[in-house]
Structure 1
Amino acid sequence: MAPSSAAKIVVCGPSRGGKTSLANFLAGLSESVGHPSLKYEPTAGVRILECERQPGIAGGKVMVELWDVSGNMSYETCWPAIIKDADGVVLVFNPEIPTHEPEIATWYDQFALGPKVPIECCLVVAHRADPKPVPRPRVPPKLANVAAVSTSFASAQAAAAAFDDLLRAVQSSKSARK
C-alpha cells in the first residue's frame, strides 16, 4: 500500500497509447489530453506525478501518486517494483492501433491480476484521436467486468470522471483493509 495519505495509481499500457498525456491531464499539468500533432516522446521507465484530487469522498481531498509507466517492454523487469503497493491501475490503450486491444490484456495480467489489485480499483481508458464519442470501448473478454471509458484528444472529461470513481473505489478498498 502507498502511504495512507496518498493513493498510488499505476498508469500503464502499450506504447503510444496516450498514458503520459492522460497522466498529465489527471495531475492538472495540462488542460487537455495532448493532441495527435504533438511530437511523441516515449517515457523512459516510469515517471511519478503527485497531485491532489477531490473525487467527492465526504468532501475530502485525496493525495495521488500517478506512476506513468513506459509502454516499452524492455522495462518489464522493473514492473514488480513499480506495481508494489499500488492501490489502483489505469490501463490506457489506443483502440485505433490494432495490436493494442490484445496487448492491453497482457498489461492487465501483469499489473492487476498478478498483484491482485481489486477489479473495482482498475480502469480501462481507450484513448483515440477520433473525437467521435464511443459509449463503451471494445476490450478483450477478460476485461469485460473492468470499468472502461472512451476518450479522445478533443474531450477527456469522461476520463476525469471515471478516474474520480476509481479514486472513490480505492479509498473504500483501503478503508476496508484497515
Structure 2
Amino acid sequence: MGQVNSCMAELLRARSVARLSVVLLLLALLGGCTAGDNGRERVALNDGGVLDLSQLQGRVLVVNYWAIWCAPCRHEIPELNRLAKEDSDKVLVVGVNYDKVSGEQLAQQLEELAIEFATLLRDPAAELGHTATGVLPETLIVAPDGRLQQVLVGPQTLASLRAAVAQAQR
C-alpha cells in the first residue's frame, strides 16, 4: 500500500509540474499582449511603452519593417527618424524588426542603425489585416481611425513618407 501511495504522490507532482509548465509557457507567449479598452490588442514597445491603436489621437501610424542586413533599410532609417521628430504632432512612427530579435540583440541593432523611434516587440500585421510582402523595407501607413491605408514597398524618402501621411489624414 505504501508503494501505491508513493506512486500516486509522484504522479500528482508530475501533473502539477506539467500544468505549471503550460501556464508559464502561456504567460511567456502572451507577455507582450494586453487587452485594450475597446477589446483590440495593445502591443509592447522596446522602450517599455505600449501601442494602442485606439489612442492615436488623430495621428497617422507609420509602421516600418527593417532588418540589420537590409541595405535599403539603412538608407531609409534617417528619413523615418526625421519624420518621427519633425512631424510628431501628425505621425507616430514605430518599427518592427523583420528577424524578430529582442532583448540585448535588438538594443544593439537599434543602436547600430541609430533608430530613434520605438520598436514593437510583436508584429501588428494581423491586427491591421496585412500580410507581409517579404520585401524590405516595407512601411504600413495607418489612418488615425486605425484602418490600414497604404503599404509602401522599398525605401522611402521624407517627401514620400509625408505624402503618404497627408493622404491618410484625408
Structure 2 length-normalised TM: 0.38
Larger of the two Rg values belongs to structure: 2
TM-score (norm 1): 0.37
Relative to its length, the structure with more helix (as a share) is 2
Q: Going by fraction, where is strand more abundant, 1 or 2?
A: 1
